[in-house]
Structure 1
Amino acid sequence: MNLSNIFESTDFVHASGTKEELQVAEFLKAQCEALGVPARLEAFRVAMGEIESAHLFADGKEITCKAFNCCGSGSVEGELYYMPGTDPVSIAGAKDKIVLMDTQGVGFFVYQDLIKAGAKGIIFQYGNMYYPNTDIDQRDLREAVVGEERKVLCAMIHSSQAVELVKNKVKNIRLEVSQKEYDGESHNVIAELPGRRDEFIVLSAHYDSTSLSHGAYDNMSGCAGLLGIMEQLKGKELNYSLRFVFCGSEERGLLGSKAYVKEHKEELDKIVLNINLDMIGTYMGKFISCVSAEDKLAHYISYMAAEIGFPIEAKTGVYSSDSTPFADSGIPALSFARIASSNVAPIHCRYDVKEVMSMEQLQGDIDFLVKFTERFANAAVCPVAREIPEKIKKELDEYLARKRKEQ
């Protein structure tokens, strides 16, 4: 398998629910089949928005913005309120205001607080005012964030413009949005290497990108990792089957892995472990594992890596990736990643391209992952307890916005 070809063939933006995302899904399916492993696409619904027009006026002067997909249509006007914090006093000041935040998006509880406080609309900011480009990311107002509350118009502006709004003490904001909202489709790509047992290990990685990114590091690298594991273990006798799930729409709230566990609910008890790959193979960066399972698994990973001479930092916790829905379904799960500095390999921006990847390092990461996977695939009995520790359950509740994070 030619690793470079994987990145060259997917060297374009392929965001959730687009024809480009489907193109990458079909490419990955073809790569599995080229290895002699049958694969299929499983479709699932994603909320989509097609922005027809978006205008933001600051004291009558128009500034460039991108409206959030799925935030609704209409016009809203009000006093600008810059809100750098989300404490109760700051939230209280949002009544009847257009709120400017320091962030690129908003979580469930902050959105709920803002709506209950009476915010008329929300403006977010993206980018770095000292960089030469003035990109603005395209975001969406997620259904999971809105919950039972109403939608308000939301838009993203560049950070340089946000500074100008505050510096010039802009008083009035008018935001106008027109968009078509509809149900779209995303896809998971599923392939399997059979084993002797009826139970199996799920290996996952997402393949979608954000709206500005070619998604080489985040996360075609993880998909290349899955294909590398598949190539090295195909044709071998395995005790546990290996099911490979290339997840769509991870960047919009883990939608692919959430759809997978929902649609395959009747067979979740047959999954003994989830191994998720999200960002590996860069020239620089520390290799880590985040384990949403018993502490013993994190210790095992550390010991095994030391035994074979592969530096790794393993810890328990909840990782912001496709391992999370599996852990939330009671399946022991872990994510592997090589975490590089954003100065070396940035994500969610125009600089996440194939040039940040090291094929030599990627192959080294794959070789370690093959050894790890093969040990568990050939275990007489999977040694990991099928029980999610209480501290992990608490983190899952907080991450998935079922409970507020304790301050």
Structure 2
Amino acid sequence: MTSVEERIVQRLNMLAGAIGCRHSGTPGNLAAAAFLADEMRALGLEVEEQRFEIPSWTVEEQYLKAAGQELAVYANPYSPSCAVEAELAAVGTLAELEQADLGGKIAVLYGDLTRAPISAKSWFLTEDRDRRILELLEANPPAVILAVQAAPGSTNRIFEDWEFLLPSATLPAESGRVVLLHAGERAEVRLRTVSGRGTTANIIGRRQGTRPETLVLCAHYDTKVDTPGANDNAAGVAAMLAAAELLREDVLDCNLELVAFTNEEYLPIGDDTYLERRGEGFLDRVLMAINFDGPGHIVDVNSLASFTCSAEFQAEVEAVSRAYPAVQWVEPWPQSNHSTFAMRGVPALAFSSRAIWLYSHQHDDSLRWVHPPRLLECAQLAADIVRRMHARPLGWMRPEAAAE
């Protein structure tokens, strides 16, 4: 094991082991921020901590009794408290929801309504269907909402929006089965939560080059609630830091900026604070961004996707990647920090793995599923790409250059 790989393991153990859950505003989130600031300083980087206020939330009790038995139930992030004994009313489609009278009842959402998490109201990718579901629930509010997670073993929450003020919780599939078999009967739900204001921070590490352009390496370090977030995304953070370590002795023409984003998982996203504080015109001087989110899974290969690139840039990156035949090129996907750059015209790359879609946000997103040698591979390829691109003209990398 190389010294760089040893430090990958150490960083993984700290973030997903000793610290664990890094839900924004929690002690774990703040401990991770302090750790990452120290790690960046140890790499010789000048560190900025971009602190900002966010909604804070913790759960103290989550209780469900139906059909004479206590069942597993997980309060949805930002849910208010409730103490309810009422009828179970099950609805599985949008058409059913439009006709249902759920006022004062325990609404049990399942089927088509809970096939995917309901997007937050303020999320720019929220679909009309999700908005309609929220509107209908708020127009005739149930006493509490129980959303059934159909995926076996999954604890992925269905509602995660601090602007949605109805009490709600997610049921794992086994609890959902029991509740649906006893729809129309009475049940008891207690959720005791604490909401307030908290703080979190993006952690930025910088080194100066000889030209005004900046190359960004980024990864988010926060997690969903009650998960250690090993692959999502202690792994990405460890890969980002390892790439910077591999580049430490390189003389780079451009500035190098590491961004450990917070609040990728919940609104308000840390990306907005980053752009606001970096100032107008900053993205016009960003050479490219490389994001790390979910790489290094033990049962999968690393994946790489490109966004907003010129044909020449794409060809050059593909040429570099041929030295890493185990890395698989995949179609572009929007759900991470690289979109902050790509959607504003900045060339971007994203390292991940397809397995992350099955394991992320779960109780068992743990260190046993992370393969450090695969994270080293990811860091080495990223470093090689930086070495190939740091002196390139900015216009050559952007798609409009190919059309000129």
Question: TM range, normalised to the smaller chain?
Answer: 0.7 to 0.9
The 5 A counterparts of 1:308-323 are 308-315=323-330, 317-323=332-338
The TM-score with structure 1 as length reference comes to 0.80
1:46 Cα offset (Å): 1.8
Which string of whole-angstrom CA distances, capped at 9 and with x for unpartnered residues, describes residues 349-385 of structure 1?
2322222222222222211111012212222445222
Unmatched tracts of structure 2, length 5 or more: 120-125
1:195 Cα offset (Å): 1.2
Aligned to 2:305: 290
Which string of whole-angstrom CA distances, capped at 9 and with x for unpartnered residues, describes residues 242-296 of structure 1?
1100111222258222321233242232223221011222333133223331462
Contact 2:308 2:342 in 1 (8 A): yes
Contact 1:305 1:311 in 2 (8 A): no
Q: Percent identity?
A: 21
Contact 2:309 2:348 in 1 (8 A): no
Which string of whole-angstrom CA distances, capped at 9 and with x for unpartnered residues, describes residues 94-148 of structure 1?
442614234463124444312432352432234865x6xxx856786324xx4xx
**Cα distance between partner residues in 1 of 2:151 and 2:159:** 21
> Structure 1 residues 273 and 127, CA, compared in 2 at 3 Å: closer, same or farther?
same
Contact 1:58 1:170 in 2 (8 A): no
1:175 Cα offset (Å): 4.3
| Amino acid corresponding to residue 80 of structure 2 in structure 1 | G
Within the candidate set 89, 104, 109, 1:100 is matched to: 109
Aligned to 1:304: 320
Moved more, 266-275 or 252-261: 252-261
Unmatched tracts of structure 1, length 5 or more: 389-407
Contact 1:206 1:247 in 2 (8 A): yes
Question: What is the Cα-based RMSD across aligned positions, in Å?
Answer: 3.1
Aligned to 1:394: none
**Cα distance between partner residues in 1 of 2:332 and 2:324:** 24
The TM-score with structure 2 as length reference comes to 0.81
**SS in structure 2 at match of 1:383:** helix
> Structure 1 residues 94 and 323, CA, compared in 2 at 3 Å: closer, same or farther?
farther
| Amino acid corresponding to residue 92 of structure 1 in structure 2 | E
| Amino acid corresponding to residue 279 of structure 1 in structure 2 | G
| Amino acid corresponding to residue 289 of structure 1 in structure 2 | L
The 5 A counterparts of 1:297-376 are 297-306=313-322, 308-315=323-330, 317-340=332-355, 346-376=359-389
Aligned to 1:9: 14
Contact 1:193 1:234 in 2 (8 A): no
**Cα distance between partner residues in 2 of 1:231 and 1:151:** 45
| Amino acid corresponding to residue 195 of structure 2 in structure 1 | E
Which string of whole-angstrom CA distances, capped at 9 and with x for unpartnered residues, describes residues 47-88 of structure 1?
1223344444547865442322323344567653434444xx
1:164 Cα offset (Å): 0.8
Q: In the alignment, is residue 274 of structure 1 matched against residue 289 of structure 2?
A: yes
Contact 1:206 1:246 in 2 (8 A): yes
**Cα distance between partner residues in 1 of 2:118 and 2:204:** 32
> Structure 1 residues 58 and 310, CA, compared in 2 at 3 Å: closer, same or farther?
same
Q: How many residues are treated as equivalent by the alignment? A: 375
The 5 A counterparts of 1:1-400 are 1=4, 2-10=7-15, 11=17, 12-58=20-66, 63-74=71-82, 79-86=87-94, 89-96=95-102, 98-101=107-110, 102-103=114-115, 105-107=117-119, 108=126, 109-117=128-136, 118-120=140-142, 121-126=144-149, 136=155, 141-143=160-162, 146=163, 151-172=165-186, 175-253=189-267, 255-266=269-280, 267-294=282-309, 296=311, 297-306=313-322, 308-315=323-330, 317-340=332-355, 346-381=359-394, 383-385=396-398
**Cα distance between partner residues in 1 of 2:378 and 2:329:** 15
1:202 Cα offset (Å): 1.5
**SS in structure 2 at match of 1:245:** strand
**Cα distance between partner residues in 2 of 1:279 and 1:199:** 27
**Cα distance between partner residues in 2 of 1:368 and 1:199:** 21
> Structure 1 residues 111 and 151, CA, compared in 2 at 3 Å: closer, same or farther?
farther
**SS in structure 2 at match of 1:238:** coil
**SS in structure 2 at match of 1:375:** helix
